[in-house]
Amino acid sequence: MIAEGVRQFPCTQCGARVEFAPGTDSLECPYCGHQTAIPSSIDAVGERDFVADLAELGQDADLEDVESVSCGSCAALVEPPESAEAFPCPYCGSSIVTTARSQRLIKPQALLPFTIARARATELFRRWVSKLWFAPNALRKLARLEDRLQGLYAPYWTYDASTVSRYTGQRGDNYVVTRTRTVVRNGQRVTEPYQTTEIRWRPASGIVARNFDDLLVVGSNSLPRDLAEDLEPWDLGNLVSYADEYLSGFIAERYQIDLRQGWSRATERMDQVIRGDVARDIGGDHQRIHSVQTRHSDLTYKHVLLPMWICSYRYKSKVYRFLVNARSGEVQGQRPWSRVKITLTVVAAAAILAVVFAFLR
């Protein structure tokens, strides 16, 4: 069980609450600076049987009772920080009152610890904002508010599968033909040859196979899928076994997309890759894919937590988000546009062009 208060680790020297120090394997006291090493686990991070666990959900699956609160604005499901009666939602900035509810969820098996600290994430945020053309001035002011950045462990599923896909389609090969046409040359109608490229289509069918390893699916409905996928790749080879200590000082989100729903999204991502395999197998200059039937086997999964720095802000009643992959430093974000700046730029450009044309006359 992971409930409020479990991750309150006292400093062995001064008794204050310590927090995980990004880039280390230690908890650090923010007051006296004393560090305490996190015990390393000898257990390997293994895959779990998808079919077996799906059948056991609600019975004897590896579940835990967790305390979490839901944001009333965006429905994010997060674990309340220790000793906080209210705190800002990492996804939309709305205030969340910590009235927790208990749920039974699949336990996280592993996580990637933070390696990028808040100061570095803030620097990346400022750099990102400074490069935005036609951004409202209010956005640049936000870049000076360091406390808007929150460290978040986001829930993810990873899926492994072996796939065999049968397909039907058509292969198109370009070929050049010579035709004739009538044109007017020097006032006379003449017939001349010309070449054009056409496509010869013929039926195609076959079988392609692929093994998928650690295909990621974000378990949050509050984190936009496009932003989450743009934060990839993650160094999943460095996953460590889950330990409460790594979450000390950070917010952890609980998954809203369950194991079955995550698999459905995983197959969508797999299908995109498989269609690329099919197109390459068909070959030729053009491809038409009529049908793809895929059989999945050897299904396994992991439930993991991945670290990111997130800043959410509102501009004209709309929520925008900025994310930093807290392992690689990859930056992704949503941004507003200043219509005033765009209009002034267009007007100024038009005025400059008018002056140039007038000068050239």
Query: CA-CA distance, 298 to 75, in Å (whole number)?
Result: 34
Whether the Cβ atoms of residue 19 and residue 84 lie closer than 8 Å to each other = no
**pLDDT digit string, tens, across residues 223-273:** 888 888 999 999 999 999 999 899 988 888 889 999 999 999 999 999 999
What is each CA distance from 58 to 31, 50, 64, 304, 357, in whole angstroms?
44, 14, 11, 20, 76
Single pTM value for the model: 0.80
pLDDT value at position 53?
85
CA distance linking residue 277 with residue 147, whole number of Å: 46
Of 86-95, 247-256, 340-349, give the range with the top mean pLDDT: 247-256
pLDDT digits (tens, 9 = 90+) for 174-213: 999 999 988 888 888 989 999 999 999 999 999 999 999 9
Which residues make Cβ contacts (< 8 Å) with residue 99, sequence separation at least 6? 69
